[in-house]
Structure formats: structure tokens, C-alpha cells
Structure 1
């Protein structure tokens, strides 16, 4: 059995300009609503894993669905969407003085740290996201049991959380999964012996 994790392609929403927290909130909304930057190279290993898989699962955002279709155009019959696999949302504390300006990815890192120390804002807590990741890992394991090989096209943080749960269940693979867009990390379990196992890092094309 194999479960492969792929992070979606890069979003069309890019900015290197500093912004205040109100502007960052709008940036996040745009990031979630916009699709994928299409001129991106997909690694051959990623394409091969997707071709071999009997099922490809994505979260609902446009960028993940477009990413799956980019990897395997015309193969919608083997794809399914599930909100269970959505990214862990960022809480945004809006009462930060407007004169404080940071780059979007710095804001994201800051709020992700707050989220992990139990500040939730209006989104699910870290503990709730962990429970969702546990459930998602069980679903992926069941799909792998039925289909043999499955692929999950998802998001950086939630991919990592689900992979951690799989490792607890005895799945073998490199942790954390690769955060590069369109790169693949595979976890294996079952008849394949440890002496036959090839670490995903050896298969990655960088």
C-alpha cells in the first residue's frame, strides 16, 4: 500500500510587499480564491506516482483542484474532492496597529505560531485540526487498503499533520513530507519489506 503526498502548485496570488494586518487579511482571501500559477514544472516522479495511483484526492480550493488536473490532465475520473483535507486555517488577530507592516509570508508565520499555542480566533483550534488530521489519515489508510496506491494533493501544513499521524500508525516514509510545490513524498505499508524500501528523498528530482 502507498499513500503519496503532493503539495499544490504555486498560487497566482503573490506579493513581496509589506502590508498591515487588514491588508494581510485581504491577501489571504485572495490567496484562497485565486487559482494556481500555471507555468510550473512538475517533477517526473510526481507524474509517475499519480499515473500509478488508483485514486487522487484533493481539497476543494481552486489551486489544489487545478494542480491535480495539471499533473494528470483528462483523468478526472480518478479524482475526488473532500473538505476533510482542507488546509489548517490561519487565525488573524485584527487588533494590531496598522503602522506594523510585514511581508505576507511573515504574517502567516507569526499567526501560525499563535495558532499552535492555542490562539484560535474564529477558526478551528490546533487540537481540532490534529483530530481532523487523525481522521484524514484513517480515511487515506482505508482508501490505500482498497485501492493499493492513492495520492493526496493538499497543503503544506495539513500534509505534514496527516503524515505525522500515518507515521504513528507504522507507515514508512520521509518526514516531514516535501514542502516544495508539486513534489511528492510517499509512505508505504504492507507486503513491501523494509529491505526493498527506497526513501522518497532518493526519488525526488530537485
Structure 2
């Protein structure tokens, strides 16, 4: 069977489905670190499935990339993807630091915002540094572009913060998208470039 190359290459950045974990807790910084470990070990909540449009977009892709975190892998299976081309630790979410403080007690969302801001300003206890994470996101973007040059249409079932940085690096590399990076669960954005 003849294979006709697309007029443009395509990368679909998609955020995983909603994780099955309690996000309404109040906790101290030490408990927050435990929560982060639990979050990285949990899968997705079957009560929040992808839309038909999302499943259709995933089915149009010829190659799939996932991180090795359960929420990424389970999302790919929920989308009906039978074969994952790349499953790698490199594509995991950008790590979030945490501390052993026993006080104060804050909402989960407050700790997420606090530690993400602290991380961007240089605090990286129990996590990769901001500089290292950005370098990894650039490598992810480069690998996705390379895979697209071979497979035409690549789906990355990824993570919120990493997708945001990967989208920025893809734009710097000449990829074009009318979409914002995916923020909500199951949301996706499409990047195009003409093959050279």
C-alpha cells in the first residue's frame, strides 16, 4: 500500500485525564510531599472520560508518546490507543519541590502555587531544578519534532506544566499552532509545520 506524505507534519499535545485522587485536602508541607508521591502513582478517574472529539483526534495520530507515569499511560489506553511508540521517564511532568515543614496547614492548591513559584525562583528541594526541567522540556520538543518527521502525526499524552514549556520550544523551532497549550484534563493543542 502506498503511503502519501501529509502536506504538513503535526504534533498533538494532550493533557492526561483527571487523576483519581483527593484534591480538597488541607495539609502541611510535609504532607504535601506525600501527596505528590501519591499523585505520581495514581491513575485516572473513569468517571471523567474524554470527549468524542478528543478520542477522534487521538485516533488520527500515527504515533503515540507517553510519560512513564500511570496517569499518562492510562489516558492513552482510555483513548483507545493499542500501541505506544515511546514511553519514557524523560516525558514525565516537571517535578514540584516540597519541604518537611509541619506548619502551616494550607489547601492543596495553595501549596501547589507556592511551591511552583518557589521552584521558578530557584528552590528545588526534592525535585529537579527549574533550569534542568526546562532543558528536559526542550529535549522533549526536539524528540517530538524528530518523531513527527518520521511518522507525520505524533500524539503526546502529557502533563500540564511540561506541555506548556514544550509548546513554547516547538514555537521557537518554527511549529505553528492557533491553540493555547492544553491546561484542562483531556484538552489538546495541535502544532503544524511543513516538512523540509
Is the structural similarity TM-score above 0.5? Answer: yes
Pick the aligned partner of 1:54 from 52, 62, 79.
62
Structure 2 match to 1:140:
144
Q: TM-score, normalised by structure 2?
A: 0.90
Provide the residue aligned with 2:158 in structure 1: 154
Unaligned runs of at least 5 residues, structure 1: 192-206
* Contact map agreement 2:29 2:103 (CA 8 A) in 1: no
Determine whether 1:116 maps to 2:120: yes
Q: TM-score with structure 1 length normalisation?
A: 0.86
1:86 and 2:106 matched? no
Give the structure 2 partner of residue 129 of structure 1: 133
SS at match of 1:187: strand
Report how many aligned residue pairs link the two structures: 187
More strand per residue: 1 or 2? 2
- Residue in structure 2 matching 1:185, options 168, 189, 195: 189
Report deviation, 1:77: 2.2
Q: Of 32, 40, 48, which residue of structure 2 is paired with 1:24?
A: 32
Segments ≥4 residues shifted beyond 6 Å:
none
Pick one of 105, 110, 121 that aligns with 1:106: 110
Q: Which moved more, 1:29-38 or 1:175-184?
A: 175-184
Gap regions ≥5 residues in structure 2: 1-8
